[in-house]
Amino acid sequence: MGIIRMDPECVRVCDAMNLIEGIETTESCCGHGDTPFRIWFDVKDIRALYPIVRSIDPRYSGRWMERWSCEVVSTDIPNNAVVFALRGEVGSDTYDEANHIADFITEFPGAFKAVDSFQFDSQSGAVPFRV
């Protein structure tokens, strides 16, 4: 494998996401002021998404987080047809917001063991989070 180069604006949030058990980032691009900021990642257990989606929920992270989303993305890769993407709008504010997301994830109680922190209720389909 050759040298892997990352946009410096993506490093902190990718590092934070990779600390979560069940999450593995695969690609990233800060957008360079022309396209949206994106981090593509694989999810081994859907429950591992909780710290990520909570970090972009405006109720907990501030109204400016409305400019962020977690998306399901289809690919042409046979063994990996569906991936996820953390997406922020175009602009330099997005870089500061990405650092805020990284901080939120790393400070989130139980974030790195989020998969173990859920109990699925097969009757209701509810998946409550316990800290």
First-to-last C-alpha distance (Å) of the chain: 39
Contact 38, 31 (CB under 8 A): yes
Q: Is residue 109 part of a domain?
A: yes
For residue 101, the domain's CATH number is 3.30.1360
Name the pTM for this structure: 0.80
- Residue 112 belongs to what domain range? 8-117
Number of other residues whose CB lies within 10 A of the CB of residue 25: 20
What are the start-end ranges of the H helices in the chain?
8-18, 50-55, 58-61, 93-107
pLDDT, one tens digit for every residue, the chain (131 residues) = 566 789 999 999 999 999 999 999 999 999 999 999 999 999 998 889 999 999 999 888 777 678 999 999 998 888 888 999 999 999 779 999 999 999 999 987 665 554 454 454 545 444 444 43
Q: Tell me, yes or no, whether 126 lies in a domain.
A: no
For position 129, what pLDDT does the model report? 43
- SS3 labels along 88-106: ECCCCHHHHHHHHHHHHHH
For the chain, the domain total comes to 1
